[in-house]
Structure 1
Amino acid sequence: MLSSKLLKAATPFSFVQRNVHRRKFIWYNEGIQYPGFKYYPRRPDFQDPPYEPTKLFRVQRIRPMKGAPYWEKNILKEFKLDGKTSDYVVVKNIPENNHRLWKVKHMIKIDPITFPDGFPNENDSTYLQENGELRIVRHIGHIEERSKLLSEYKTATDKMDGDTLRRDSRSRWLTGWQ
């Protein structure tokens, strides 16, 4: 009996139950569900700005492959980015490609491709600028139109030939700012 009294007196805190538990926050209707994640806006009147996603990306490698893990090297080889760092590829904007690009995002630069001149036709010549703009090279037209413009250029009296340009440039060089 003495031992049970000593036990209760010696350990008074062992019988105190602490109510420590995880707080449960249940936010049912407060977030905006996107594919793959849920976004909780700062203000309740938040609206997404209208955005039209691009169809193509211009992807360029900016970091060397040396020292990267084999799975990142394999992804870059699949996209054919294992050559020089100045090379680029055009990639479709689909979830499978976006998932693979996300894994190597620290080694690449992604620019969305825009069409400021409109979509090209089958017989249009195009070139892709470094900022992702796809420009269309407009052709003059048929051979008859080209030959007509060439003959007009050759017979024009107000054009400056090479000798006149050299003389004019030299006189401007010698006189300086006027």
Structure 2
Amino acid sequence: MLNSKNKDTLVVTFSHLQERFRRFALRILPNEEDAEDALQEAFCKLWPHHDSIHSPKEAEALMMTTVRNVCIDSWRKQQRYPTVALDPDRDGGTTESIDQRLEIDETYETIEQIIQSKLSPIQQEILRRKEFEGDDYDRIASDLHMQPTAVRVQLSRARKIIRELYRKMEEKGR
């Protein structure tokens, strides 16, 4: 028969001090998920021995020791068998060839150079906010103290400059 008082002592102690145990685990392990896993594993290791735990202080001490040991074991395992994060460009199974990817990267670099060297600061700001941040004309106009039509004109001119200079560079073969 399970000793209900001892079982409750372990559960209540763990519940009350879970955040403290998690912070402790994070000092040893590199991320949240690993720390949470260590806490669960520590609790599971202590659960079969709940009938031998007689006080909250004893439960706290055992839990802290078990969390520490589980964290150290996990850290050592990670050192022995390091993992590498997935690189979506490398591991994602994209259908682009390396040549296509390089060509796209070169195109972006060329366009970025045109933007930086040939557009006025106001055109750069409008282009960035419209194309990359998705702001609407009224918001951009309000923030830049301009009329919405003036924003549209500046954006149109910026796009035209980029398009013409890019075409010229393509014709020259860069």
Q: Fold match, TM over 0.5?
A: no
Query: Which of the two has greater helix per residue?
Result: 2
- Name the TM-score class by shorter chain: under 0.3
Q: TM-score, normalization: structure 1?
A: 0.25
- Larger Rg: 1 or 2? 1
Query: Which of the two has greater strand per residue?
Result: 1
